[in-house]
């Protein structure tokens, strides 16, 4: 099984992305990334951000006087390919550093392989994959914070608790996969803490395509709140089903992956109205950290006409910040010693395009930076209404808020 998977990886679509020529031996950073399959929209966006960082660093002479080379393989959005990819990167390609691909389901199978090699690993937007291992050389680039499952869902529950009258019941729906399990676990913890009674709690197979029966089953319990932990294709199906059956509830969304992706925003258009879910960065005045708008300008120029997410708001700043942090650690420790890198990463606060970041135990951020946003007054499917910060509106937390949540869901979606 392993041999066949490794062989498949060797023939997968992959690319060695090399910066400007230099006489010095390059520093090689290896990773798998979703360049095809259902996560490719976000994976390609992350890859472009990493290429921009590489080019920025190489234009300045590289790191330690050496150019940066990115060694990338397509993980096809398939967790089964990941062990073979990282085995090849570390045992055959002999890369100097590794980072992960995008998303919990793809980061989780990479971690055991990297641990066997005692390497530092950065996980990109992965939710609590180090909870079981407590590996001291893992660092999570995920704004959810130290208790990620709770932190990533807390805003939904704080918004709900502030509603008048206060909701009493909640339905929890999640994909039967790593992310869905982790996020729904955090939702259960928050429901208990905020005093909401769970009246529906089910997972669905990732292969599900018809979500109308699921949404009808949820509606039959008449919940005051509906929390959904879904991946992109599921998110589209669930939102469409909610509109088809005329879903009625107080607050709907919470953990929907996909509403952040530009192609899904323009695909769904007004169907997004009333959806309240998480996001990680938007061009609101409250989030214009030093350097981030320059990065976004470069990203959007390079993304134009390339088939990559046109805006880059969700993946771009965080993927760029990931390599900013890694590069700063290499520079500060003056080498590639994995133990020294890990020690420096644990004790340092880093300045990045998404603000100051520091790592707590298990490699999670010391503070949660998850946003809750709501789509309001979306008309048509044109890109501009999502580009200029009008949609979605940041409704939580207070320090980044630029608008107020509208409830109930059936009123907000009008």
Give the DSSP H/E element, type plus range, for residue 265.
Answer: helix 262-268
pLDDT for residue 23: 66
CA distance 357 to 351: 7
* Equal fold, 2-146+289-363 vs 149-284+370-412: yes
Which CATH number applies to 2-146+289-363: 3.20.20.70, 3.90.980.10, 3.40.50.2300, 3.10.20.600? Answer: 3.40.50.2300
Question: Looking at per-residue confidence, does 89 or 13 come out higher?
Answer: 89
The closest of 16, 33, 72, 413 to 243, measured between CA atoms, is: 413
Question: Tens digit of pLDDT for each residue in 90-139?
Answer: 999 999 999 999 999 999 999 999 999 999 999 999 988 998 999 999 99
HSE-up of 58 (CA within 13 Å, CB side)?
22
Give pLDDT tens digits for 264-310: 999 999 999 999 999 999 999 999 999 999 999 999 999 998 999 99
Contacts for 246 with CB less than 8 Å, ≥ 6 apart: 410
In whole angstroms, how large is the CA radius of gyration of the chain? Answer: 21
Q: Name the residue among 354, 285, 349, 284 with its Cα closest to residue 317.
A: 354
Q: What is the rounded distance in angstroms from the CA atom of residue 65 to the CA atom of residue 133?
A: 35
Q: Give the CA diameter of the chain.
A: 68
The CA distance from 409 to 252, in Å, is 6
CATH value of 149-284+370-412 in 3.40.50.2300, 2.40.50.140, 3.10.20.10, 1.20.870.10: 3.40.50.2300
Closest CA to 120 of 2, 19, 31, 58: 31
Q: Which of 69-73, 117-121, 147-151, 310-314 has the lowest mean pLDDT?
A: 147-151
- pLDDT value of residue 390: 82
Query: Is a pLDDT exceeding 50 seen at residue 315?
Result: yes
Mean pLDDT for 129-157 is: 90
Chain-centroid distance of CA 113 in Å reads 22
Which residue is it, tokens 């010693």? Answer: 337
Domain boundaries, the chain: 2-146+289-363, 149-284+370-412
Vertex 99: Cα angle to 93 and 102 (nearest 5): 120
Cβ atoms 276, 159 nearer than 8 A: yes
> Would you say 372 and 353 are in contact if contact means Cβ atoms under 8 Å apart?
no
pTM: 0.88
């Amino acid at each position: 099984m392993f041999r066949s998977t490794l062989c498949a990886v060797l023939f997968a679509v992959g690319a060695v992305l090399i910066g400007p020529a230099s006489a010095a031996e390059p520093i090689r950073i290896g990773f798998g990334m979703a360049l095809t399959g259902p996560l490719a929209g976000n994976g390609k966006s992350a890859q472009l951000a990493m290429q921009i960082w590489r080019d920025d660093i190489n234009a300045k002479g590289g790191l330690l006087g050496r150019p940066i080379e990115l060694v990338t393989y397509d993980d096809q959005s398939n967790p089964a390919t990941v062990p073979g990819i990282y085995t090849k990167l570390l045992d055959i390609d002999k890369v100097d550093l590794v980072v992960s691909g995008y998303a919990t389901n793809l980061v989780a199978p990479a971690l055991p392989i990297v641990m066997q090699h005692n390497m530092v690993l950065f996980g990109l937007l992965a939710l609590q994959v180090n909870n079981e291992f407590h590996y001291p050389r893992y660092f999570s680039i995920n704004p959810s914070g130290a208790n990620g499952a709770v932190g990533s869902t807390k805003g939904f529950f704080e918004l709900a608790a502030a509603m008048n009258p206060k909701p009493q019941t909640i339905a929890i729906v999640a994909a039967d996969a790593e992310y869905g399990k982790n996020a729904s676990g955090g939702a259960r913890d928050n429901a208990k803490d905020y005093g909401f009674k769970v009246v529906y709690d089910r997972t669905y197979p990732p292969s599900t395509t018809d979500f109308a029966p699921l949404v009808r089953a949820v509606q039959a319990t008449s919940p005051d709140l509906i929390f959904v932990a879904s991946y992109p294709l599921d998110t589209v199906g669930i939102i469409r089903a909610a509109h088809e059956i005329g879903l009625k509830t107080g607050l709907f969304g919470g953990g929907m992956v996909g509403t952040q992706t530009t192609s899904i925003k323009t695909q769904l258009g007004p169907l997004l109205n009333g959806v309240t879910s998480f996001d990680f960065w938007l061009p609101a005045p409250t989030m214009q950290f030093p350097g981030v708008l320059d990065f976004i300008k470069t990203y959007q120029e390079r993304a134009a006409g390339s088939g990559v997410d046109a805006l880059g708001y969700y993946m771009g700043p965080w993927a760029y910040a990931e390599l900013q942090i890694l590069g700063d650690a290499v520079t500060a420790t003056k080498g590639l010693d994995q133990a020294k890198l890990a020690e420096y990463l644990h004790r340092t606060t880093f300045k990045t395009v998404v603000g100051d970041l520091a790592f707590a135990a298990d490699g999670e951020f010391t503070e949660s930076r998850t946003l809750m946003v709501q789509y309001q007054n979306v008309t048509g499917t044109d890109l501009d209404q999502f580009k200029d910060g009008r949609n979605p509106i940041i409704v939580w937390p207070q320090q980044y808020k630029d608008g107020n949540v509208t409830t109930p869901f059936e009123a907000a979606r009008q």
